[in-house]
Amino acid sequence: MSEPVPYPVLNDDEPVRQFNELDASLTYSYANYLNWLFPERVELIAGKIFKMSPAPSRAHQEVAGRIFLKIGNFLEGKQCKIYSAPFDVRFPKESKADKNVYTVLQPDICVICDKSKLDARGCIGAPDLVVEILSPGNTKTELLHKYRIYEEFGVKEYWVVSHGDQSILIYTLNEMGKFEPSKIFALSEKITSTVLPGFELALNDVFEDVD
């Protein structure tokens, strides 16, 4: 595998103010990402730029908000913390230095139980739980990349929420470090979480009256 071509930084403090100033063929690090001041939201996957969808739909926001509230209320007074996008999660391979981190994602919702992973800029390392709500703009390639990243870095539980199908699929990391999928949960069913013992979420509470 060829070595990544680094972004040619001429001035470490020089901000990039327009998305079209970036070269999609190059490999960028979190250090570069910190200098991007344009309004578009992007994620980095192995140094490659993935432009995120425009502002999420109202239904997407409503579903995300309901899940966030249910988990947030459950976590009241507990050690784990819950965050919603935009919230940077960095996935370092060896060094945690900004210039050596090439993957930065913004999950819709994430739960982090190890507070040592939290800093002023977000999370560095795998969250315990990640929730992604599917949007029409999500591509199969993007979803596959994210699945592989969450599995590789050890996200213990990954929920894929489909508003269109009114369903939730849960991937749980097994002892071999591989994701095992649940059945697809639908309306009138409830889900539980291996990461959050005692937590229960009724899908009717997530999707009912969301259109």
| pLDDT tens, residue by residue, 129-148 | 999 999 876 777 888 999 99
- Token digits of residue 4: 């990544």
pLDDT band at 7 (very low <50, low <70, confident <90, very high): very low
Residues 6 or more apart whose Cβ sits within 8 Å of residue 30: 44, 90, 98, 99, 101, 102, 104
Rounded-to-integer distance, Cα 63 and Cα 107, Å: 14
Buried b (16+ CB within 10 A) or exposed e, 66-81: bbbebbeebbeeeebb
Across the chain, what does the average pLDDT equal? 91
**pLDDT at position 22 over 60:** yes
How many Cβ atoms are within 10 Å of 138's Cβ, its own excluded?
15
Segment 163-171 shows an average pLDDT of 95
Rounded-to-integer distance, Cα 101 and Cα 122, Å: 14
pTM over 0.85: yes
Rounded-to-integer distance, Cα 110 and Cα 37, Å: 24
- Which is higher by pLDDT, 135 or 117? 117
Taking the alpha carbons at both ends of the chain, their separation in whole angstroms is 46
Residue 3: what pLDDT? 53
